[in-house]
Structure 1
Amino acid sequence: MERELALELVRVTEAAALAAAPWMGKGDKIAADQAAVDAMRATFDTVNMEGTVVIGEGEKDEAPMLYTGEELGAGEDIKLDIAVDPVEGTRLVAKGLPNSLAVVGAAERGHLLNAPDMYMKKIAVGPEAKGVIDLEASPTENLEAVAEAKGKDVSDLTVIILERPRHKEIVEEVREAGARIKFILDGDVAGGIATALEYSGVDMLIGIGGAPEGVLTATALKCLGGDMQAQLHSRNDSETEKALQMGIEDIEQIFSIDDLVKGDDAIFSVTGITDGEMLNGVRYHGEQAETHSIVMRSKTRTVRHIKAKHRIEYKPSYFKKEVLATKES
């Protein structure tokens, strides 16, 4: 892939974040998501690539834009798989809570797992613990392996877990093992990325979340040198059949990070919508807005933090406050 593509994808996540941010705290997660989808889709059409959405907003009959299988871009020479989440954490935006993100992952055509919209068991760690995790092992065994790899006691480890009733037994075992827990309300992409950021204080993510989010997390961790294992978690025969139709040959397969994201050249871009530990959210100063993004590439392991200032008056109409006011009225 061309190195310039990384900066092009930052423009895409910036656009989604700028469009969604005015809806922060207004209680309308659907409006926030639609604004981000519109902006992201329009910006993709200016990027010199031929992209196919493999992780998107749903199937064609469920999502008018950024649906799975949709073609994106303004070029033909660079053929890519694209994974998107215009608003990772729609409820977080609607409630004005931290860690909502606009996210895009990209890899060469055929290199991202086309994951169905269902649940996925996941375990993720940063570079220091690469190669020591095992999804089939118990949480205690994984904690002990990660602690040894990082030269820590288990009691020094912090585990991110999505706060859901389905994680009751995992929570109890992690506590019994002596590790600390950081709960998140929504959006486990941020939690997975945090395991590979030294300043986050997070050592491991474990639990069941969305499969599409799992592929996005794996793309980021591939760029950061982290590790991840995952397995689809089917709740009924319909979900199993859908997975098989999408090309998953074995519903019980344990996916390594290299199964989720093949090859050595992937790009991941993320822009904060609301403030969080990893990124600042969109901030407004009159007619000027400021965004904070991270863009990374697995081939070079380059990680860039980008703070940008945007003059809203020079942006397309979907960013302008008067358009949002019209929609609200």
Structure 2
Amino acid sequence: MDRNLALNLVRVTEAAALQSARHLGRGDKNKADEAAVNGMRKMFDTLTIDGIVVIGEGEMDEAPMLYIGEQIGKATKDSIKLDIAVDPLDGTTAVAKGLSNAISVVAVAPRGCLLHAPDMYMNKIAVGPKAAGKVSLDGTVEENLENLSKALNKDISDITVTMLDRPRHRELVEKVRKAGARIKLFQDGDVAAAIATCFEDSGVDILMGIGGAPEGVLAAAALKCLGGEIQGRLYPVKEEEILRCKEMGLPNVNGLLTIDDLAKGNEIIFSATGISNGELLKGVVYYENNTAKTYSVVMRAETGTIRFIEAIHRLDKKPEYAK
């Protein structure tokens, strides 16, 4: 895959972040999401690619979205055909409330390589490179923590499990605590949380629990680049979600999805830009004279390259970013 596409994808997530960050702390998550979507779509429209959104945000909560099946890019007969997974704003509530860890995320791969599924819930487990192959959604909490302890050469009491702070995780929290591990809850944005398992300094060892399916595919793309592992299992809460899965070629809705089911192959590129300050990336900072600074990461699975990019934007030279 063309390496120049990686930098173009950074421009895509930068555009979404610059637009969405203007709504930080303003209390309207839909406006923040809409701004991110519009920014991302405008920048995608400048790329000479033949892309299709195979899994995206918005359907579950009727928010603005880059919808599943949407054609992306200025396609020509020679354009590369791509699957695209998007989350223009992973952390809508975080932006609305002025909280941390909101990011804009996109992943691309050759056609047929990213999971094609509805916007629904997914049960997930994710770990970094040292524990790849050592945990499974089919295992118990106790078994996974014991195997993780051996893989990381750490006592279970020193292991930190991260998960979304949701009532649905009450039983999971009790099991983790009973097993003796520590817990770090977060309010929003489980893509960054999954990625954190791949960085020892993050203090996070494993992600568990139920979040969004789009975030699961995006996290799988990132972990492919980082050498980590994620497994997922779709978690339908409505009968129509089961029917949609079958219509989209997923007859075994409750089947275990490996990292290769979520993101196949190594021709994968992942990009994220911070919107609000977080553990993975700093958020957008606005300066005098209509300038702004963004912090991004872009990864390629084919080479294992991880680039952190800081960019200064002269917004008066970019009409699309006008207030």
Question: TM-score normalized by structure 2?
Answer: 0.96
Say yes or no: does 1:182 pair with 2:181: no
Alignment-derived partner of residue 326 in structure 1: none
Alignment-derived partner of residue 279 in structure 2: 277
Please identify, of 50-59 and 138-147, the stretch whose mean Cα deviation from structure 2 is larger: 50-59
Q: Is the 8 A contact 2:156 2:180 kept in 1?
A: yes
Q: Structure 1, residues 148-174: CA drift from partner, whole Å, max 9, x if none? A: 011111111111111111111110111
Q: Structure 1, residues 184-207: CA drift from partner, whole Å, max 9, x if none? A: 111211111111122211100000
Alignment-derived partner of residue 27 in structure 2: 27
Distance 1:78 1:28, change over 3 A: same
Give 2:279's aligned amino acid: E
Q: What is the deviation of 1:136?
A: 1.1
Q: Is the 8 A contact 1:58 1:68 kept in 2?
A: no
Q: What is the deviation of 1:95?
A: 0.3
Alignment-derived partner of residue 225 in structure 2: 223
Q: Is the 8 A contact 1:126 1:226 kept in 2?
A: yes
Q: What is the deviation of 1:58?
A: 4.3
Specify the SS of the correspondent of 2:51: strand
Alignment-derived partner of residue 174 in structure 2: 172
Separation of aligned partners in 2, 1:95 and 1:121:
26
Give 2:322's aligned amino acid: K
Q: What is the deviation of 1:176?
A: 1.1
Question: Would you say how many aligned residue pairs link Structure 1 and Structure 2?
Answer: 318
Select the residue among 219, 227, 246 that pairs with 1:244.
246
Say yes or no: does 1:36 pair with 2:39: no
Separation of aligned partners in 2, 1:72 and 1:13:
14
Alignment-derived partner of residue 307 in structure 2: 304
Q: What is the deviation of 1:182?
A: 0.6
The 5 A counterparts of 1:73-222 are 73-76=73-76, 77-222=79-224
Give 1:41's aligned amino acid: R
Specify the SS of the correspondent of 1:217: helix
Say yes or no: does 1:313 pair with 2:316: yes
CA RMSD of aligned residues (A): 1.3
Alignment-derived partner of residue 67 in structure 1: 67
**Structure 1 residue runs without a partner (length 5+):** 322-329
Q: Is the 8 A contact 1:41 1:65 kept in 2?
A: no
Distance 1:141 1:296, change over 3 A: same
Question: TM-score normalized by structure 1?
Answer: 0.94
Give 2:144's aligned amino acid: N
Q: Structure 1, residues 233-284: CA drift from partner, whole Å, max 9, x if none? A: 1223222111111110211210000011111110100000000111000001
Q: What is the deviation of 1:65?
A: 5.7
Distance 1:32 1:64, change over 3 A: closer
Give 2:312's aligned amino acid: K
Alignment-derived partner of residue 4 in structure 1: 4
Select the residue among 237, 249, 256 that pairs with 1:254.
256
Give 1:200's aligned amino acid: S
Distance 1:7 1:233, change over 3 A: same
Specify the SS of the correspondent of 1:19: helix
Q: What is the deviation of 1:64?
A: 7.2
